[in-house]
Amino acid sequence: MSNYPALHMIVDGRAIDSSTAGEQAVFNPATEERLGTLAWATTEHLDDALASSARAYQTWKLVSAQDRGALLHKVADLLIERIPQIAPVLCLEQGKSIREAAAELQYAADIFSYCAEEGKRTYGRIIPSRTEGHRQMVFKRPIGPSLGLSPWNFPGLVPARKIAMALAAGCTCILKASEETPATAMMIVQVCHDAGIPAGVVNLVFGDPPTVSSHLMDSDVIRKISFTGSIPVGKHLAKLASNRLQRCTLELGGHAPVIVLDDADPIYAARVAASAKFLRNAGQVCVAPTRFFVQEGVYKAFSNALAEIALSIKVGNGLDADTEMGPLANERRVDAMQRLVEDARAKGAKVLAGGHRVGQKGYFWAPTVLSDVDSSAVMMNEEPFGPLAPIVPFSRIEEVLVEANRLPQGLAAYAFTDSMTRASEIAEGIEAGVVTFNHVTAALPETPFGGVKESGDGREGGPEGLDAFMVTRYVSEARR
């Protein structure tokens, strides 16, 4: 399409648009139309990226936090200017609505702005000495060149987070973005360069994911890994990282429970939950609400309200102004929805809304609400990553906490209640890295984000996210 850019990698500030390592087609999930062709990195390209990142690190780490922050502010400002150009591209290759694409890019700009300021606050400290004539100091220093591995579901937000955190800390970054949504990441890296980030500080490569990650991680250049993706891949990367003791931040899959207590307003809870379940990237979000546990007193009212909202949602091409929910990202997700719904039905679930593919062209799936879903259903045990909302009744908080904590994932959890006492009980008892009450905003640039158990290790966002790109150095001086 005319407004979809020619694709290329960016290594040491140079565009690379051809390769002997292979190539891959990129498709529009709304139309199944081929958008472009993406070249894969050769080992020579990857070695060039490593050398460039290592070379640039030697000068970038010496740039003051104030000056790094000024450049990151320029990135944020330029990114905002280019939202009208980048948002339609994001929409074309990923599928989400144009409004959501623009909001994602605004969020990405906010991350750069936050990191520009937080990078100035990487304070050390003075530790009082036990003896006269001693001075004990703690310094924060960048850990070194980093590798960012980002997925297809947020092609603007996740690359921005990995780049901005690294650069604010004084690290360089090699970004291996998703081959299914490459243009958004490419345009963001170009924004970095156009804003004045020196060549080599941010490199962008694509290719066969296992080949690229193993080659880059096998180098002693890379000291920090930041990965967002599936649990199996995260575990594999952690094993690879152990060979060189590279620090890892792993933001992995979730299966977020939603607990609706009988003192909450079920209509409000349904409306808020629907926005995160359906209207945010068609449920293709690691923190999407996925298991709805509703107390018996409001079970029917909540179920009916959620189904009514689901039936009213306008599904269509993300570029259409009236679209509320776009397509799924690929055919794999459509097949998964079909399999999960059929399995739940076979185990006694009732479909209150949706449950079927929409149209004959594109990867559209109707917002789906199911009631009385058995705990043995696959969708109650496997992250659906799509617009499926299974609802289960419960009677006591103690029992719902057991069910909510039953799975090995623990990324996000949501609850609706007007009781501070019951909220405290849930907050203390739930096993999740992020817990919200009466709303579903799981992450902001200034807040720590990450999971427990198999949902990952480490935190992105907030000062904790920046600290992951730094090492602590203790210096002690004695006066002679």
Give dist(CA 290, CA 295) in Å, integer: 16
Cα(322)–Cα(327) distance, rounded to whole angstroms?
14
Q: Distance between CA 56 and CA 50 in Å, rounded?
A: 10
Task: Find the catalytic residue in 286, 324, 454, 460.
Answer: 286
The reply to whether 286 belongs to the active site is: yes
Q: Which two tokens stand for residue 287?
A: 């923190």
Residue 225: C-alpha distances to residues 119, 183, 263, 450 (Å) = 19, 22, 44, 15
Q: Measured on CA atoms in the order 78, 188, 247, 199, is the torsion positive or negative?
A: negative
- The CB-side HSE value for 14 (13 A sphere, CA atoms) comes to 9
Task: List the one residue out of 176, 165, 16, 153 whose CA is nearest residue 467.
Answer: 165
3-class DSSP state of 155: coil
Active-site pick, 118, 251, 324, 383:
251
324 is catalytic: no
Q: Largest Cα–Cα distance in the chain? A: 82
Q: Angle 434-274-86 (CA atoms, 0-180°, nearest 5)?
A: 80
Nearest C-alpha neighbor of 267 from the set 316, 296, 300, 229? 300
The residues assigned a catalytic role are: 251, 286
